[in-house]
């Protein structure tokens, strides 16, 4: 029997790695796991740790930097050569670079009526400073959203197969907020919340993908893992070493009594990702975000909540992404042809010079 092929981006740490671990614990025999990571050394370490607990598991590695157009195209090519089908594509890699924790806003929020919302979404207390990729895109937009969009587009042949369904599952966030997003500034070049913007855009994109691909058997959904202690969150208080976060655990457990979004461990954060793996995609709500939640007593569960998104904006985002996609493809083609021209010019020069001598 053909194995179920599952590809996870950003699988070497945090929530992505925990998902792989949980998938293997559920169904190691029938799975063909592919860890798509930018850093192969960390990817190999992740593979080793998975094989240590599941020695007979099938775990492949794939080099993929979601922030790079050429890397996405090359990785997709490799996938298409290696597998004839892709059943699950977890779009999980994500960054929140140079975060700034606004201590003032945090304390103001702590003593306001919006305190639970603040702990659930991190809204208003963290801003980021974004960079630019070698392709000329904003880093957060490119990594969290655009690279994944391009990956989906490239993998269309293995995702859309007659008589079969496949699932796209985005690791979005509670932090996604309409106010951080602008259609006129899709890459969030102007603001200080590129992370929130990229996650809100992924919520919209998921809806649009459902509209355009459901008839081809491809379904998309978004999850929020809740607040999880990972490399991403350790970066928020960079002066605080990881072990000090562990010391905060008792405080976090207390907060958990008031907000079930404090999943805290990657294992619990992966709850909704695993839950979606087991659902028939036709039964899912394209307007819902599936939340990993943990009760005050420490029980994990998954719950859908309606998102603040609309079809019209989703379609506009989709159109803009298609436009950017073709722009980036043209740019890549141009780069390739000038490289070829340069090369052939370089090899012809010596003989040309000889003739002159
Ligand atoms: N932790 C939390 O509280 C929350 C996290 N999330 C989301 O969960 C997802 C996973 O994050 P989390 O596990 O917390 O954090 P981690 O930093 O542990 O994991 C992020 C993963 O993404 C990878 N990654 C980053 N940039 C790229 C890139 N350009 N190309 C390929 N892979 C890349 C990282 O690789 P590397 O090891 O090389 O850096 C890493 O494997 C993210 O999308 C994040 O936004 C959402 C809500 C809350
Ligand atoms: C030092 C204090 C006692 C505690 C400080 C806590 C804050 C650093 C966290 C409280 C809520 C957290 C949170 C996130 C980051 C860390 C906090 C602000 C996120 C923004 C991380 C990324 C996401 O995508 C969100 C879903 C998280 C929401 C909650």
pLDDT in tens, 270-318: 999 999 999 999 999 999 999 999 999 999 999 999 999 999 999 999 9
Q: Average pLDDT in the 5-17 region?
A: 98
pTM (two decimals): 0.95
The answer to the question of residue 19 being in a domain is yes
Confidence at residue 336, expressed as pLDDT on a 0 to 100 scale: 85
If you take atom 21 of ligand 1, which residue's CA is the nearest one?
A: 10
Confidence at residue 357, expressed as pLDDT on a 0 to 100 scale: 43
Whether this model's ipTM surpasses 0.95 comes out as: yes
Ligand 2 site-directed mutation target among 192, 236, 240, most atoms within 8 Å of CB:
236
At 2, list the tokens: 């053909």
Residue 152 has pLDDT above 60, yes or no: yes
Confidence at residue 10, expressed as pLDDT on a 0 to 100 scale: 98
Q: Into how many domains does the chain fold? A: 1
Tokens 């012809």 sit at which residue? 348
If you take atom 12 of ligand 1, which residue's CA is the nearest one?
A: 14
Distance from chain centroid for Cα 170:
6
The answer to the question of residue 313 being in a domain is yes
Tokens 């099938």 sit at which residue? 58
If you take atom 42 of ligand 1, which residue's CA is the nearest one?
A: 94
Ligand 1 site-directed mutation target among 15, 73, 289, most atoms within 8 Å of CB:
15
Are 229 and 222 a contacting pair, CB within 8 Å?
A: no
Confidence at residue 351, expressed as pLDDT on a 0 to 100 scale: 52
Q: How many CB atoms lie under 10 A from the CB of residue 3?
A: 15
CATH number at residue 17: 3.40.50.720
Helix, strand and coil content of the chain, in percent to the nearest 5, comes to 50, 15, 30
The answer to the question of residue 187 being in a domain is yes
| Cα dihedral 228, 35, 187, 233 in deg (nearest 10) | 20
Strands (E), the chain: 4-9, 31-37, 58-63, 88-91, 99-101, 126-128, 166-171, 218-224, 288-294, 300-306
If you take atom 20 of ligand 2, which residue's CA is the nearest one?
A: 122
Distance from Cα 66 to the centre of ligand 2, integer Å: 24
Q: What is the pLDDT of residues 327-345, one digit of tens each?
A: 999 999 898 888 888 888 7
| Cα dihedral 33, 298, 237, 120 in deg (nearest 10) | 100
Among the bound ligands, name the one nearest to the CA of residue 269.
Answer: 1
Q: Average pLDDT in the 165-173 region?
A: 98
Which helix (H) or strand (E) element contains residue 274? Answer: helix 271-277
Are 32 and 5 a contacting pair, CB within 8 Å?
A: yes
Distance from Cα 122 to the centre of ligand 2, integer Å: 5
Q: Is the CB of 174 under 6 A from ligand 2?
A: yes
The answer to the question of residue 11 being in a domain is yes
Residue 200 has pLDDT above 70, yes or no: yes
The distance in angstroms from the start CA to the end CA of the chain is: 69
Ligand 1: which residues within 6 Å by Cβ?
9-10, 12-16, 37-39, 42, 64-67, 92-95, 143, 171, 173, 224-225, 227-228, 230-233
- What domain range is 124 assigned to? 4-328
Tokens 């966030």 sit at which residue? 173
Among the bound ligands, name the one nearest to the CA of residue 261.
Answer: 2
The answer to the question of residue 333 being in a domain is no
Q: What is the pLDDT of residues 43-95, one digit of tens each?
A: 999 999 999 999 999 999 999 999 999 999 999 999 999 999 999 999 999 99
Among the bound ligands, name the one nearest to the CA of residue 259.
Answer: 2
Q: Active site includes 301?
A: no
Cα 298 to Cα 193: distance, rounded to the nearest angstrom: 31
The answer to the question of residue 150 being in a domain is yes
User: Pick the catalytic residue: 83, 88, 90, 195?
Assistant: 195
Q: Average pLDDT in the 131-144 region?
A: 97
Q: For a pLDDT cut of 90, what percent of the chain falls above it?
A: 87
Strands 126-128 and 99-101: antiparallel
């Amino acid at each position: 029997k053909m194995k179920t092929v599952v590809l996870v981006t950003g699988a070497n740490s945090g929530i992505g790695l925990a998902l792989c671990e949980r998938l293997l614990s559920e169904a190691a025999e029938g799975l063909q796991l592919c860890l798509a990571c930018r850093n192969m050394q960390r990817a190999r370490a992740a593979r080793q740790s998975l094989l240590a607990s599941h020695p007979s598991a099938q775990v492949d590695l794939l080099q993929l930097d979601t922030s790079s157009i050429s890397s996405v195209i090359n990785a997709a090519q490799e996938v298409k050569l290696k597998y004839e089908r892709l059943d699950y594509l977890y779009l999980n890699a994500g960054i929140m670079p140079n975060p700034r924790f606004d201590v003032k806003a945090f304390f103001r929020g702590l003593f306001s009526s919006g305190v639970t919302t603040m702990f659930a979404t991190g809204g208003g207390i963290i801003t980021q400073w974004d960079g630019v990729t070698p392709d000329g895109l904003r880093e957060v937009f490119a990594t969290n959203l655009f690279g994944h969009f391009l990956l989906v587009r490239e993998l269309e042949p293995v995702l859309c197969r007659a008589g079969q369904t496949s699932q796209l599952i985005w690791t979005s966030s509670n932090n996604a907020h309409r106010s951080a997003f602008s259609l006129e500034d899709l890459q969030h070049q102007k603001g200080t919340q590129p992370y929130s913007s990229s996650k809100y855009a992924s919520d919209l994109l998921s809806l649009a993908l459902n509209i355009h691909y459901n008839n081809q058997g491809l379904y998309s959904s978004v999850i929020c893992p809740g607040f999880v202690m990972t490399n991403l969150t350790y970066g928020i208080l960079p002066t605080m070493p990881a072990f000090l976060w562990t010391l905060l655990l008792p405080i976090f457990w207390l907060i958990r009594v008031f907000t079930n979004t404090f999943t805290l461990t990657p294992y619990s954060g992966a709850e909704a990702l695993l839950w979606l793996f087991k659902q028939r995609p036709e039964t899912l709500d394209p307007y819902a975000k599936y939340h990993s939640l943990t009760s005050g007593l420490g029980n994990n569960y998954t719950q859908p909540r309606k998102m603040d998104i609309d079809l019209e904006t989703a379609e506009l985002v989709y159109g803009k992404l298609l436009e950017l996609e073709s722009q980036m493809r043209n740019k890549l083609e141009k780069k390739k042809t000038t490289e070829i021209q340069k090369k052939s010019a370089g090899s012809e020069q010596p003989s040309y010079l000889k003739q002159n001598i």
